[in-house]
C-alpha cells in the first residue's frame, strides 16, 4: 500500500498536492472508500467514485453539495472489462487519470 501525504489545508481549505488531479476511488459508496474520497476531494482532487452499490450516487451528491468535484459510476470492480471501459470513460471525460485509490472489501 502507498501512502500519499496530503499535508495541511491551505487557503480555502484545499491543498496543492492533489489539487486538480483526477482520482478513481473504488468502494466509494460508504466506509473507507467514502472516507478516502472525501479527504481527496477536500484537498482539491476531482474524485471519480466507483462502487457496485447505488449509494455511490448519494455519496457523489453529498460531495457536490459541499462544492467538491465528484463523478459517480456504478462499476463492478471484479469485472476487468467493466473497469477498463469505466477508466476509458474517465480519461475521455476528464482528459486524464492521475491515480487510483483502491480500497479492500
Rounded Cα gap, residues 86 and 63, in angstroms: 20
Render pLDDT for 37-83 as a digit per residue (tens, 0 to 9): 999 999 999 999 999 999 999 999 999 999 999 999 999 999 999 99
Number of domains in the chain: 1
With CA atoms as reference, report the closest residue to 63 among 97, 16, 18, 29.
29
Q: Is residue 7 part of a domain?
A: no
- Which of 84-92's residues contact partners 24+ apart within 8 Å by CB, and which partners? 86/50, 87/24, 90/22, 90/24, 90/48
What's the predicted TM-score (pTM) here? Answer: 0.81
Range of the domain at 59: 14-101
Render pLDDT for 1-16 as a digit per residue (tens, 0 to 9): 344 454 554 445 555 6
The enclosing domain of 77 has a CATH number of 3.40.50.720
Amino acid at each position: 500500500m502507498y501512502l500519499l501525504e496530503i499535508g495541511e489545508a491551505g487557503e480555502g481549505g484545499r491543498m496543492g498536492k492533489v489539487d486538480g488531479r483526477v482520482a478513481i476511488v473504488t468502494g466509494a459508496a460508504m466506509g473507507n472508500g467514502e472516507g478516502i474520497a472525501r479527504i481527496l476531494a477536500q484537498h482539491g482532487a476531482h474524485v471519480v467514485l466507483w462502487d457496485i452499490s447505488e449509494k455511490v450516487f448519494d455519496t457523489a451528491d453529498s460531495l457536490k453539495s459541499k462544492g467538491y468535484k465528484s463523478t459517480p459510476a456504478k462499476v463492478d470492480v471484479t469485472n476487468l472489462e467493466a473497469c477498463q471501459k469505466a477508466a476509458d470513460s474517465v480519461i475521455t471525460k476528464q482528459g486524464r487519470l492521475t491515480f487510483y485509490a483502491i480500497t479492500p472489501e
